[in-house]
Structure 1
Amino acid sequence: MSNVRTRAAALLGTMALATGALVGISAGPASAIPRTNYCGSAYGFLKSWPINWRASTGGYIDVYYNNTNGYNCVIARTNDSVIDSAWDIVVAARKSGGTWKTDGDKPGQHYTKYAGPLYVYAPGSCIDIGGSFETSGGGGATGYDNVHCG
């Protein structure tokens, strides 16, 4: 099993290199995969962005927003119709240009279905997001810049 801290660093490095090229890319709806709002009832779902795995979508990064308090909420989850077992799911988010927050990258954390929720305060600004996971068949990691500007 890979070192979780190394994976988190690799995720953040991947996002730093890849997200600039991904601005403006959007994903189709994630309607085939169950989505659960772990953020709280005050958070409305905005959109899901895919986590690439091989030639398909291995998971999703879900973004929710609370328009009352200005917080975004981010969750990474696997696509159960593609991934039958995963470990070390990681989610990352930040106010664009700010410091990354992560969940799932601490020693002893081995999330198997989702990571998060992460809350990012960014009224009048955009957020950047990322997600990754490991499986017995390899892993996937994807990051996006400026996904929600509110």
Structure 2
Amino acid sequence: MRVLSKRMATMGAVLLAASGLFTIGASSASATGPCGSGYTRVGVYNIGSPKAGSIEVFYNSSNGYNCALTYPLNPGERRWMLISIGISIVGAGSDQDNGYYTTYAGPVYTYAKGQCIDLVGGVDNGYGHVYRNLKNVHCG
């Protein structure tokens, strides 16, 4: 009887671990967020009307970098997405990511301590590409 109970307990632990209901510690990606450690979300902007996705903006006050990502309305479907971030100075350049993704485009980064940033996010809504263009946001 004791051997049977021990086997059942072991099998139960294996099944529980395999099901994902029990984890031993969090993964570093989920603990630090999509941009890495030290970033705090400072803005969320809808893309399209009706909403096809959103842009999320993060800031790290210790290093002065902003980070941005584009998320689709329904993650899981492979679709075209775009995210671009740069400081609001003509000719300053930008960091951009675009392609076919299931979860998000990005992260992209720009150093903007004491400056405003420009953002462009885009998502394929099934009928074509829709964009959100933001100028001179998150100044400081």
What is the TM-score when the length of structure 1 is the normalising length?
A: 0.65
State the Cα distance separating 1:100 from its structure 2 match: 2.4
Do the aligned residues in 1 keep the contact of 2:85 with 2:119 (CA within 8 Å)? yes
Do the aligned residues in 1 keep the contact of 2:76 with 2:103 (CA within 8 Å)? no
In 2, Cα distance between equivalents of 1:92 and 1:100: 7
In 1, Cα distance between equivalents of 2:68 and 2:137: 11
| Larger radius of gyration between Structure 1 and Structure 2 | 2
Unaligned runs of 5+ in 2: 1-31
Q: Count residues with an aligned counterpart.
A: 107
Do the aligned residues in 2 keep the contact of 1:85 with 1:135 (CA within 8 Å)? no
* Structure 1 equivalent of residue 57 of structure 2: 63
Counterpart amino acid of residue 89 in structure 1: M
- Aligned ranges 1:122-137 → 2 under 5 Å: 122-137=112-127
Q: Percent identity?
A: 36
> 44, 57, 79: which one pairs with 1:48?
44
Over 3 Å off, 4+ runs:
83-86
- Aligned ranges 1:6-45 → 2 under 5 Å: 37-45=33-41
1:141 matches 2:131 = yes
Unaligned runs of 5+ in 1: 1-35
Corresponding residue SS for 1:39: coil
